[in-house]
Structure 1
Amino acid sequence: MAVHVALGERSYDVYFRSLTALPSLLDDTDLRVGRCLLVTDENVAAHYRTPLTTTLENAGWTVHSIVLPPGEATKSADHLHTLYDEALTWGIDRQTPVFALGGGVIGDLAGFAAATLLRGLPLVQLPTSLLAQVDASVGGKTAINHETGKNLIGAFYQPRLVCAAPTTLDTLPMDEYTGGMAEVVKHALIGDTALFEYLEDHLTPVFARKDRSAVASTIEQAVQVKADVVSADERETGRRAVLNFGHTFGHAIEKVAGYGTFSHGEAVAVGMRAGLYLSHQRHPDAIPRDRADHLIQAIPVEADPSALSFDAVYDAMAADKKNEGDTIRFVLLDRLGHAYVCDGVSESDARQAWRFACTA
């Protein structure tokens, strides 16, 4: 079972297999068995570093592990340079692959390191969180944060393969799992009405992580949406921008509140409610707002967005890297399963959308 990301010479597959299958998956690539860098965080390492290292070593690999602190703060220049220092001191060449074992933070950080070390090392994404499996590990976006905003320093750099092991979700804290559902719902809203209806029909077993088969089906469908969009627009010159539905508000929320106050999934969930309001305002007959909002609100948001200043959020949106000139770009829906980029949202309309998003 795999989803193909079609990018010509940079094409690769997303596999839904156990981490123990990684050596056999690597055998189907042109990677040279030898030294490899395994980058992970302390939480993930406690569960998976030892068994994965043993699996790789039994297949002939020499593994050097780099274990970093968990959390969004790790996506920084300081931790990037820590990774550089360890890799270069240990000794690598351009054939040394980087295995990114963890959630979106590790995938972004290790991916950017792979893109820049020796002008490019092979990258293998091993996402262990739901958010990383359905979104961050697919598409080649790598980055670190800057005090000005999120993901402002980075590169497009595609992995050689992605192995999204379903069993890693078993050890994922529930709040991280439900936060990852924000990206699943986003993919349904922007690109797949069948996935939207599947989520409606399987709301409890999927959101409560009670039915492994339903969860697996949901993940595969969500990854297919991401793969289709990326295959059509690798570097976000057009269609790929629709993947930012909910993220204009979402990234601003994270920045204004302070990274870690809202998880990425929580911030995107709030942002999607704002985007849904704006979409329904423009296309009232085409957008089933109540149905869509019911699905979005199934994602728990513990922090209170209404405690944030709209003016501060709006200013943060104005600094978003996805803007063009002084125009804030929003992704809206013109019907269920189809999104577009809009730059005609007034500050007044954005304020009304914010009020809706902050109302339970």
Structure 2
Amino acid sequence: MEILVNLGKDSYPIYIENNLISQTSSHIQKIFSGKRIFLLSDDNVYPLYGASIQEDLSHFYECHHLILPHGEATKSFQSLPVVYEALINSGISRSDLIIALGGGVIGDLAGYVAASYLRGIDFIQIPTSLLAQVDSSVGGKVAVDLPQGKNLVGAFYQPKLVLIDPEVLSTLSPRFIKDGMGEVIKYGCIQDASLFQLLEESGSFEGLKPRLMEVIFRCIQIKTQVVEADPFDKGQRMLLNFGHTLAHAIEQFYGYKRESHGEAVAIGMYQLTCLAEEKCLTQPGSAEKILNLLSLYELPHKATIPIGQVLPALSLDKKMLHNQLNLVLLKSIGESYIYPTDTEFFQSVYNKII
């Protein structure tokens, strides 16, 4: 399967195919004619795929790599000097290429490094987690975290190529399959009621496996259409952040050490939809449908935090424009909209446990 992200001079292809990771060099040769490649990965992923990819690429390029610790803590300013120094020591120039091999943390970090090092060098994404395959590897949003919040320093910087191999998901722990399903469910909620229904009918990730490639394709297709219409996240692209306003606040509250991103998104989607129903902003029964689907895929729906304790983080949300907090709400399952408000939206439920 192939999808073209049509962004003029920044357009790029996305390939989705089983065992695609073994064909890395043939795809890279189509888009890169330079000399050096720098592969950035983590200590979970590199032992599984990094060495074989690097060996394959070494027949055509001078290859270097850096292995970072896995986990959200790596996506920070503290990692940047380490990566920049490794790039310098490897002789990487503006005519060379960075490969992000890993999940969303490595993809976001490598993308930000590519955007900022020497004022920008090419990079490609090889996402190895379900969350990265259906969401973060596509669209060019790259970033690092600050202590005050997630993804607060970043750029819009599109990759030259995305290679998605669903087969690599077989090495993921069950928790990180569930993590990715949080984002898959999001796509059904915001724009694809038939995908939401497919997830209901499949009943579990095991039941979904025969149609997994189709599900990945449908998620990316939705994201591609939204990104093409709004590449810089000033309008309809915000719809992709359904559940994320609360999710990022929950992640920060626990220091990125309790809920994974997808788990936090699951909580955010359900809790925000409950609030929206109470305010007659969402079709009644939508929250219950989300709750039932989260239960099928063993995702949480509560964070056990009084909402007042996360309000400071909400005020730093990246969807704040012109002092307005742009919440993403559902009209109903499969139809979403942007609701301009401010943190007063949450004041009436200040002590509510979410």
Work out whether residues 107 and 137 of structure 2, in 8 Å CA contact, stay in contact via their aligned partners in 1: yes
Q: Which runs of 5+ in 2 are unaligned?
A: none
Matches within 5 A, 1:33-182: 33-58=34-59, 60-182=60-182
Work out whether residues 274 and 353 of structure 1, in 8 Å CA contact, stay in contact via their aligned partners in 2: no
Deviations for 1:263-312, whole angstroms, at most 9, x for unmatched residues? 11111110000222234342454764322321133343569611x23211
SS at match of 2:341: coil
Residue 334 of structure 1: aligned partner? 331
Distance in 2 between residues matched to 1:354 and 1:202, nearest whole Å: 37
Distance in 2 between residues matched to 1:296 and 1:152, nearest whole Å: 28
Residue 298 of structure 1: aligned partner? 296
Q: Does 1:280 align with 2:277?
A: yes
Residue 26 of structure 1: aligned partner? 28
Residue 222 of structure 1: aligned partner? 219
Letter in 2 for 1:119: R
Q: Does 1:247 align with 2:248?
A: no
| Aligned-pair identity (%) | 38
Q: Which runs of 5+ in 1 are unaligned?
A: none
Work out whether residues 271 and 301 of structure 2, in 8 Å CA contact, stay in contact via their aligned partners in 1: no
Superposition TM-score, scaled by structure 1 size: 0.91
Distance in 2 between residues matched to 1:80 and 1:300, nearest whole Å: 35
SS at match of 1:331: strand
1:339: Cα distance to partner? Answer: 1.4
Q: Does 1:259 align with 2:260?
A: no
Distance in 2 between residues matched to 1:255 and 1:27, nearest whole Å: 40
Distance in 1 between residues matched to 2:228 and 2:47, nearest whole Å: 35
Work out whether residues 276 and 293 of structure 1, in 8 Å CA contact, stay in contact via their aligned partners in 2: no
Which stretch of the first structure deviates more once superposed, 234-243 or 320-329? Answer: 320-329
Distance in 1 between residues matched to 2:194 and 2:228, nearest whole Å: 20
Deviations for 1:312-338, whole angstroms, at most 9, x for unmatched residues? 112211122221354333110113222
Distance in 1 between residues matched to 2:37 and 2:174, nearest whole Å: 31
Letter in 2 for 1:215: L
Residue 14 of structure 1: aligned partner? 14
Q: 1:221 to 1:353 in 2, by over 3 A?
A: farther
Distance in 1 between residues matched to 2:352 and 2:194, nearest whole Å: 30
CA RMSD in angstroms, aligned pairs only: 2.1
Distance in 1 between residues matched to 2:94 and 2:282, nearest whole Å: 54
Q: 1:179 to 1:309 in 2, by over 3 A?
A: same
Q: 1:311 to 1:280 in 2, by over 3 A?
A: closer
Distance in 2 between residues matched to 1:320 and 1:21, nearest whole Å: 39
1:353: Cα distance to partner? Answer: 9.8
Deviations for 1:58-100, whole angstroms, at most 9, x for unmatched residues? 3x12210110000000011111110000101210111111000
1:340: Cα distance to partner? Answer: 1.5
Q: 1:355 to 1:217 in 2, by over 3 A?
A: farther
SS at match of 1:297: helix
Distance in 2 between residues matched to 1:115 and 1:285, nearest whole Å: 41
1:351: Cα distance to partner? Answer: 5.9
Deviations for 1:207-238, whole angstroms, at most 9, x for unmatched residues? 23x55332222111111111111111100111
Q: 1:301 to 1:86 in 2, by over 3 A?
A: same
1:11: Cα distance to partner? Answer: 1.1
Letter in 1 for 2:163: C
Distance in 2 between residues matched to 1:132 and 1:74, nearest whole Å: 16
Deviations for 1:108-159, whole angstroms, at most 9, x for unmatched residues? 0000000111111111000000010011100000000011111011100000
Q: 1:326 to 1:285 in 2, by over 3 A?
A: closer
1:33: Cα distance to partner? Answer: 4.5
